[in-house]
Chain A
Amino acid sequence: MTFRFGTALVTTFVLVAVSVWMLGNDYTHRLDTYNTLSENYQQELRGIWVPSQAVPKISYPPSPLSIFAQGEQRRFGNFAEIQRWEVPRKVKEGLTNNELLQSVQPFDLLTIFTFVVSLFGVLFSYDSISGERESGTLKMICTGNARRGSIFAAKFLALTTVLAVPFLISLLSGLIILLFVLNIGFGAEQWLAIALMVLAGLLYGAIFVATGMLFSALVRRSSTALITALLFWMFGVFLIPAAGARFAESVIPIDPSTEIKKYEDTSKEELTNKCRDYARSSYPGSFETTVWGHMDYEAGGPVTVFYDGNPNAFLWASLFISHAEPLWQRRAEEIWNIALQQNASKKQQADLAAALSSISPAFNLRMVYTRLADTDFIQHSRFLDSARRYRHTFLNNFEAKGYFGKNVIKFFSRRDSEELTDEKYQVRKAEYSRLWATDRDWFDMSSTSNWDALESLPDDLIPPFQFSGNRSDYSSVLQPLIFLFVMVAVAFSTGFAAFIRYDVR
């Protein structure tokens, strides 16, 4: 019950309680927003008139453990738009509305443990050996029956336990707030994840206790031990992760993101011209503009084609779509291939940065926490992977229905395709021609008022999306956990060796 223990207890307790309370509320709010948004998107999807309007927006709910480790989830967001003409590369809408706020570290449990608990680890242990030498008690202890090894081990265990008490109490109070005040429940898997978080937190604290003892055993005076231990703390917590990333950035440079934009622009222009030429060469007369109108809308995006007017334009539009659609889809694949190359070099850089930073305890703790909370980049890329797979299913479904081939009329209209061949079509065509020749007021012919009587959209138009990525992947947590353990072992054994040779006078 020393002063520092009291400070540690009060500080960690207050910080954790405040953070868990605020982030818990924030999580509930985000979950609500998520539910409203996905409901809105579903509604939008149900309200489409023709299949070409379908732009499903898929998503996954925020993870409840993000209360403990916000990670990258808020930066990356969790909604992806599935477009025919674009392979999803990034998430369209985020969980945060304001990207400017990212400049401030989220105040979550991970941050508190990273900075505050580790600092107390150092403060608890820096004078454990040299302080006792200064006050002369070390001489007394060492002249007793106890062997030096057991003295050192006992001190280490005792200090780690002392550090673990505020850590566990604050975590427990945080959990109580979540469970009983905010009514946020956890599943069995999440409890396991929390247990692993506790383990990682204890190992992390133990590293700083062991290092504090190491420096305390290496030098004669407590104040020197403190400075060196705090320097180590500074390196382990602040400097190494920052320096590792900066070093990786200068060793493996990545292309600026303009490259892909450049290709997007040039290929768009090229393809637009190609389609324009096709339209000009294929459709004579003034209707060029009608067909061209579609393409113009289409150029560069999956905006809806929906046309139900003049029968000639109807026919030409269908020809045009079956010509242009595969071209734009191929362009999307090509852009994705360039993005893949860029991602590969980014991955190399990120891997190097991770390898360099993995000597920092804080970095490993972050890895464990964000992985367990499913808020890291792995989760994000998994979601994007499944979004891409889903896009394939979505397009294959359209392909199977013949929307880009024989059934193309159904793709952009709800009229029966037979209307083009049978007498209904002839009647309509005659009607259109008459109207076109006389008062040209054919707009009402394409009005949507009589659509409900027509064939409805197929039920299986949009395949269901299931994202199973919210499963914690414990194998990838193993490596940083082992690293943390090794760091404890190294710091402890070096400190032990130093203490064996320590001059107690």
Chain B
Amino acid sequence: MLSIARKQILEGLFNLKFLFVAAVVLAAFAANGFIYAEKIANERSDWQELVNKNLADLGTNCGNLQEMSDFWQRVTRPASTLSFIADDGAVRMPNLINVNAFFIQGIERQSRDNEQIPLIQAFDWCFIVGVLMTLLAVLLGYDTICGEKRDGTLRLVLSNPVSRLSLFFGKYLGLLVIITLTLLLGGLISITILVFNGIMMLNEQIVTVLLWSFLLGVSCLSLFLLLAMAVSGIVSRPAVSLVVITTTWVIILIAVPGLARMVAEQSVAVPSPYEIEKNISDSEINFWESSPDGAGNWSGDPFDWFMPGRAKLHLSIVSAKQRIIDSALTQKSLQMKALNIFSSPSPSVLLSDSLQCLCNTGVYGFDNLIDYAGKYRNQLHNLVVERDSLDSESAHLVYCGSDGQTERRTFSTKPVDSSIIPRWHTMWADGGLPREQQWPVWQLVILFALNLQMAILAFIALLCYDTR
């Protein structure tokens, strides 16, 4: 088995075709390093600027608890150091949200991208591995078995005391070693460029993520190798095998995610901005109309501006509004997850999905942004409630929009020590990763299962070969 693998490696490595494609792949990895060194540096400085602005604004707003609680911070997802592995895809994924002590709302995109340029594929590892290298894998594997059938060498090999299993695994291992070496070399090139540009520090979390990425990348490539070997084992001529494999490849890459997008759009409903707005205003009108004691109107006493009934009304309006906004955000990310599930027959999508999970980009980055923004809102809210409870003059009715003339005494207006206000940027780990790193375990399991299934198929195809 090992001698077959060695032969396959040598045959592959010193093949002009392979060297040609591998050179392109390595150049792409180098380009990836340079592109992302610049991009991540830009993103980082934008993030730093926003963090500083928020800190300065919190400093000026901490003179009054009510003003502080109403102050909108524009918070973004931090620049992920690992976005060179998996960026948001061909996308402008929203990365900014407005937070105060009561609300999260208004997702936007803040970045230096140019809407005049048509959306194009990001130049990340997902693209290099999922598109360029899978094609390389397919090209390496398409004639492994049927080429030998055509040349008649398969018959010769099988007439020796070599079992079909060891022949199969020898060939597979040989090809896998070649492609893993290419991936390893390319990855090292791109990492080296980023480390030398001072973009990335190799700490424990990042090294673990890198190892996971390699593992996922190799298992995706191995799946394409096995696919190529299976087709190669089934058909008898390399030309036919090539047509079948490249067609399958292009369908896996383009058609499956595209179709899944359409299915996802039709299976999970997301309210339109108009509907969201309408729901909010409807619920507000509803609360005003159904509220007892004249919506807590002013009593008429010019010296009594305190209106507890109005405050309670506002409180319920605010929580209903936040529920509507939250459910719309959840539906959006649910639809995106449905898309990922529907397109999981495509290993390339599985790969980019799992890499985005590791790198805090894509829908995972979005989810984490929403999740962290919610937590941050709660922290701010807890702080406000806690400070308010210390104030004996306050009526302890903490709600949003209380900064008006009339409801001044609903909760405390005392100054807050700016050092105890929670900070957005401290919630994230180094390198723009979430503190609780998620691991794409089920994606890896599916990839392994697909690999196993394809290996069995490919082996059966080889077994069916009749030497006569």
* Residues on A with beta carbons closer than 8 Å to the beta carbon of B272: 33, 37, 93, 97
A386 to chain B, nearest CB (A): 18
Cα–Cα distance between A106 and B259 once the two chains are bound (Å): 8
A126 to chain B, nearest CB (A): 9
Cα–Cα distance between A102 and B258 once the two chains are bound (Å): 11
Question: Which of B94, B116, B242, B255 is A347 in contact with, Cβ under 8 Å?
Answer: B116
B147 to chain A, nearest CB (A): 9
Interface segment out of the listed A138-146, A221-229, A315-323, A405-413: A221-229
Given contact pairs A97-B272, A227-B17, A440-B300, A18 touches B259 in the complex (Cβ within 8 A): yes
Cα–Cα distance between A29 and B125 once the two chains are bound (Å): 36
* Residues on B with beta carbons closer than 8 Å to the beta carbon of A441: 300
Question: Which of A23, A226, A254, A376 is B114 in contact with, Cβ under 8 Å?
Answer: A254
Please tell me if B127 contacts chain A, counting CB pairs below 8 Å. Answer: yes
Are B243 and A107 in contact, with the CB atoms below 8 A? no
* Residues on B with beta carbons closer than 8 Å to the beta carbon of A7: 243-244, 247
* Residues on B with beta carbons closer than 8 Å to the beta carbon of A94: 273
* Residues on A with beta carbons closer than 8 Å to the beta carbon of B430: none
Given contact pairs A11-B251, A119-B246, A258-B50, A253 touches B35 in the complex (Cβ within 8 A): no
A374 to chain B, nearest CB (A): 14
Are A107 and B262 in contact, with the CB atoms below 8 A? yes
Cα–Cα distance between A224 and B254 once the two chains are bound (Å): 26
Question: Which of B35, B139, B264, B339 is A250 in contact with, Cβ under 8 Å?
Answer: B35
Please tell me if B31 contacts chain A, counting CB pairs below 8 Å. Answer: yes
Please tell me if A446 contacts chain B, counting CB pairs below 8 Å. Answer: no
Given contact pairs A98-B270, A101-B336, A227-B139, A106 touches B258 in the complex (Cβ within 8 A): yes
Interface string of A90-121 (1 = CB under 8 A from B): 00111001111111111110011001100100
Please tell me if A346 contacts chain B, counting CB pairs below 8 Å. Answer: yes
Question: Which of B92, B143, B300 is A102 in contact with, Cβ under 8 Å?
Answer: B92
Closest residue on chain B to residue A5 by CB atoms: B243
Interface segment out of the listed A47-55, A183-191, A199-207, A235-243: A235-243
Are A234 and B38 in contact, with the CB atoms below 8 A? no
Question: Which of A37, A102, A243, A347 is B90 in contact with, Cβ under 8 Å?
Answer: A102
Q: Which of chain A's residues 113-165 have a Cβ closer than 8 Å to chain B?
A: 115-116, 119, 123, 127
**10 A–B contact pairs at CB < 8 A?**
A97-B271, A104-B258, A111-B254, A227-B139, A242-B121, A245-B120, A256-B111, A258-B46, A258-B49, A350-B116
Chain B interface residues (CB < 8 Å from chain A): 16-17, 20-21, 24, 28, 31, 35, 38, 42, 46, 49-50, 88-94, 107, 109-112, 114-123, 127, 131-132, 135, 139, 143, 238-240, 242-244, 246-247, 250-251, 253-255, 257-262, 264-265, 270-274, 300, 302, 332-333, 335-336, 339, 343, 362-363, 366, 405
Chain A interface residues (CB < 8 Å from chain B): 3-4, 7, 11, 15, 18-19, 22-23, 26, 33, 37, 40, 71-72, 75-76, 92-94, 97-108, 111-112, 115-116, 119, 123, 127, 223-224, 226-228, 230-231, 234, 238-239, 241-243, 245-246, 248-250, 253-258, 289, 343, 346-347, 349-350, 353-354, 366, 370, 376-377, 439-441
